[in-house]
Amino acid sequence: MPTANSEVLSVRSVAATTMRAAVYKGSSVVEVEVVPVPEIGPGEILIRVETCGICHTDLKKIAYNLLPGPRIYGHETAGVVAEVGQGVTRYAPGDRVIVFHHIPCGDCFYCRRKLYAQCPVYKRVGVTAGYEPAGGGFAQYVRAMDWIVKRGVEKIPSGVSFDQACFVEPVNTCLKGVKQIDPQPDDLVAILGQGPIGLIFTMIAARSGAKILATDTMQGRRALAERFGAVEAFDPRENKLDPRVRSMTNGRGADIVIVAASAPGIVEQAVACSRPGARILLFAQTSHQERIEVSGASICMEERTLCGAYSASVDLQKESAELVFSRALPVEELISHRYPLSQIHEGIERALHPVDGSLKIVVQPQR
């Protein structure tokens, strides 16, 4: 009878015992170090990371020191199965896959209400490159734990690049938000912020047939917004959005507003440009250090719905994968910079301080 270790060894495709990883040390410090390749157990898989997107959620954790180190961040992960543990039959070494780092239990109070991101099991990160599990995609290998392997891994079809595939998780999060606010063909939707996430929101919302108005301070991003489905895009500093919204709605205001950026006053702007009864989605306000202040009457008396959407939904996993893999959403066009792991500091700096021409930053750990 083979042991768990012998079962792993029998399918082992990688002999390396150490790897390079970008380790968050605390105090906003990230250092590329040599660390052990994670060992897997029964029901688990080891993935060789080919591409991992840099997400602003991880950037906030690093910049604001939201969690103690050491940790290895990165969760928009695409790669190749390098090892499978005992009992794994759906995946084999050589399979090209993306992996979600959160998967809910499916049976708790929150799961029964489809509030998966509030599930205690969902809050347990199930993918790690070592240390406290934190996604691990900023490393050459990651270990996916058993409950992730059961429901949180999708195979990448032939002809789809790893760079393209790493968008499945962020597309899922945006799709979840769009379904929550449910835009209709006769709606006017204002999307504030056209970074990578805002542009994905624009792509998805435009598929509903709604009219999209977008804002961003960068001309290049405004041009992309119009290319990906926005009717018009404005610089929020020029105060042109609200008059245009009013002119298109007989003075009422936007039916839906998506806040896809984090900046002082942006939520107040969302309320101001929306009509009574509008739906306002907050997506980028993920730090407890962020504060918003709006008139109570603008929500209560004017009957607006102010809601939040956070992280991915397991119910949308297949749909988000299909949107990416079929190229229904041209997400790979959002990538402006690709960095090897050794240059992740440059990638983090560029993502934290974008300039016109910089957009989605990805890390390719095997380079």
Say if residue 180 is in the same domain as residue 235.
Answer: yes
The pTM for the full model equals 0.94
Residue 51 pLDDT:
98
Say if residue 262 is in the same domain as residue 220.
Answer: yes
Domain hosting 175: range is 171-308
Residue 231 maps to a domain: yes
201, containing H or E segment: helix 196-206
Residue 131 maps to a domain: yes
Say if residue 180 is in the same domain as residue 142.
Answer: no
Q: Are strands 188-192 and 127-128 parallel, antiparallel or unpaired?
A: unpaired
Give the pair of three-digit tokens for residue 209. 């047939």
Residue 15 pLDDT:
62
Residue 215 maps to a domain: yes
Residue 321 maps to a domain: no
* Tally of CA atoms within 13 A in the half-sphere of 60 that contains its CB: 12
**Average pLDDT of adjacent 10-residue blocks, the chain of 367 residues:** 39 72 96 98 98 94 91 98 98 98 98 98 97 98 98 98 98 98 98 98 98 98 98 96 97 98 94 98 88 94 97 98 98 98 96 94 97
Say if residue 186 is in the same domain as residue 230.
Answer: yes
Residue 318 maps to a domain: no
Q: What would the DSSP string read from start to end of 275-341?
A: EEEEEEEE-S---TT------HHHHTTTT-EEEE--S--GGGHHHHHHHHHTTSS-GGGGEEEEEEG
Say if residue 73 is in the same domain as residue 54.
Answer: yes
Say if residue 92 is in the same domain as residue 202.
Answer: no
Residue 319 maps to a domain: no
* CATH (domain of 249): 3.40.50.720
- Looking at the 3D structure of the chain, how many domains does it have? 2
The count of other CB atoms within 10 Å of the CB of residue 18 is 12
Say if residue 43 is in the same domain as residue 144.
Answer: yes
Residue 66 pLDDT:
87
Say if residue 263 is in the same domain as residue 356.
Answer: no
Say if residue 176 is in the same domain as residue 42.
Answer: no
Say if residue 179 is in the same domain as residue 194.
Answer: yes
